Amino acid sequence: MARVLSGIQPTGDIHLGNYLGAVRHWAEDQRAADAYFCVVDLHALTLPREPGELRAKTYETALGLIAAGLDPDVCTLFVQSHVPQHTQLAWILECVASMGELRRMTQFKDKARGNDESARVGLFTYPVLQAADILLYDADRVPVGDEQRQHIELCRDLAIRFNGRYGDVFTVPEATVPTVGARIMDLQEPTAKMSKSAESNRGVVLVLDEPDAIDRKIRRAVTDPSSQIRFDPEHKPGVSNLLQILAAATGAPDPAALADEFADYASLKSAVTGAVVELLRPVRERYLELATDPQGADELLARGARKAEAVAAATLERARDAIGMLAPVRQAAPAR
């Protein structure tokens, strides 16, 4: 059985783009693969966060993943910082990666916005920690959004380079990107990806939004002056985004084929609203149910962390041994 790993940052509420592009596919993967999924709270530290907010969002994100279909009895669900091997392997891989490789990462350029000197070091080395997240679990496949392909290529390069120098220690992973719903755009800015860090949530449908809020956001979605409905992301990004959402929400294989079903924008938006509300209804109901039992959720995450650490520790030990690090002496506890 292939092993799958992916993660999500606790930097905001899970939105429709996260769900359609990633989380829903994770829920499908968990029964067909040996699946590991984590809330990557260490990655969230690359920008300033309020301690209370980070703690709350980490917890809420974990609950959201369970509500969206991840079953802790089937997959391994954990919080990244609960498994200390992530940061330990990241340092080893930083000593394998080059400055040139990290400078080429487009996400650093986008997020630093030209302020390289004031950007946090963690933002620069973020892809190496991501590589450690993946390589620790011998992942064969990594489900990601298409903007993460470059990071997975770096991960592959680091694994191949390490294996070439020290022997076959790491599994070299492959990125998998859904063909439908892989890139859901902001309803107000359809040339920008729907994001948890958007300045306004008017164009971001949250998984936990009430039906009225979903309806309001979709009705106000930007289209264009022309009334023609066709799938043309370059010239009609707003309409194309709505068709993409409808296809992903209903399981239609081709968003372009849906265009002929609608005579006007109002009917298209109504269909998108209905599909999204029904898609997210069980997720929201399950989340509200889980939130009433915080102790139960804590136990699920602790169990996931123990299982993840058992795998991560074995991989880290292989890497340490391969590069010649002195093994720690394990002394037995003194007899009482």
Q: Any idea which residues carry the catalytic annotation?
A: 111, 193, 196
Closest CA to 24 of 211, 246, 279: 279
CA distances, 100 to each of 55, 96, 129, 149, 261 (Å):
34, 12, 17, 18, 50
User: Between vectors from CA 61 to CA 238 and to CA 144, what angle results, nearest 5°?
Assistant: 55
Report how far residue 165's alpha carbon sits from residue 186's, in angstroms, rounded to the nearest whole number. Answer: 44
Instruction: Report CA-CA distances (Å) from 286 to 14, 67, 166, 283, 295.
Output: 14, 5, 47, 5, 16
| Alpha carbons within 13 A on the beta-carbon side of 206 | 19
Cβ atoms 158, 171 nearer than 8 A? no
Q: Is 250 exposed, middle or buried (0-12, 13-18, 19+ CB in 10 A)?
A: middle
Answer for the pair 79, 297: CB distance below 8 angstroms, yes or no. Answer: no
Helix (H, G, I), strand (E, B) or coil at 175: strand
Structure tokens, 252: 């239609």
208-238: b (≥16 Cβ within 10 Å) or e: bbeeeebbebbeebbbeeeeebebebeebbb
